Chain A
């Protein structure tokens, strides 16, 4: 098995230690860091996404693969900034104000990162002002908003309104997700797309930014 294929397998099977070790070895062997992303990480996470959507993988397996991928990416990222490697765009992610639930949002962040997006994950209970400031600071092209509670659904609307009021709405696409939402609701509150799982979110992100 080639080192690239081994890294692919380590991420696909969620083996964090192997993913870290293989990445270190590859980087010490002067492998181009971008090629690790393009040749192993993105394909592995795409396969993870496929398996999740096909219900061969579930939350535990997705979390394990995402963690293995992030561990490898943390070793690669410092080298990428030196080479100015291409990205599919910056995504600002967060669970809206008043809502502390973040499992689904974390899965989407990891899958977007694994697909080659730059992800700024603001965590949970994020105010509209914080979303606006972070979009401005990072020149983001996409905002991902998550919600679980019915009582915090209005925060999603106020975040979209804040992005409009800040004059950012024509610069960023808005992707929303979360248990109480639907495509109709997403449309009604002025979002650009709705996704009901992490794989669908990655697909929607690609469509929204034309990547």
Chain B
């Protein structure tokens, strides 16, 4: 078996790479596929927190590469979805602890064990990024509809274009869109960003406070059914598996006056 190795990257930090990695990993695993999540942000480990697995980390990616443990020993099985495993980054090392060749070998080995290998890339375009893409066949570029994020995404797309032979497909996820601001012409729309970047769209994720709550709980939103961001990530996972899923209607919760009434009287519980 040879699984798909997908790198999640953005250039700019703070646009939601790790959140997207965790959620896409969980959503893919919930479709029945076996998934390995690889945290490549060596020295700034966070994916374990988002997954709620930080207390179960024993070995890490650098331990595997340096031969201190077997790959299987370093993989942390998810507590909710059994076919999902995390390969944590090292927290006390830095990006120079691994090289591209080692990453390629590691990704190859993981792809013999899992249907999907989802690699969470660090921010930036230096060695950490180069290592993260070294073993990937596909890429997901995350950006928010802000100018700095779009500019950095464009740079990343240029770099991915340059290794076309290895990374045969890349698609864009527009994260943290605020439908209300787009409506008021205060912010670039999904179409604006797509037109500027001339790139294929994989999905759109609305800004959602539930992301913060879910991070605090260590339970990615895509694992529960009642959040809009979670639905968006599940749709992305289905598209990755080849399903033709239309973009969700982003307008629903901000314009519905019934919603406002419900929210007004029960601000903490309403989630329509």
Specify whether A and B are partners.
no
Measuring CB to CB, which residues of chain B are less than 8 angstroms from any residue of chain A? Answer: none
Measuring CB to CB, which residues of chain A are less than 8 angstroms from any residue of chain B? Answer: none
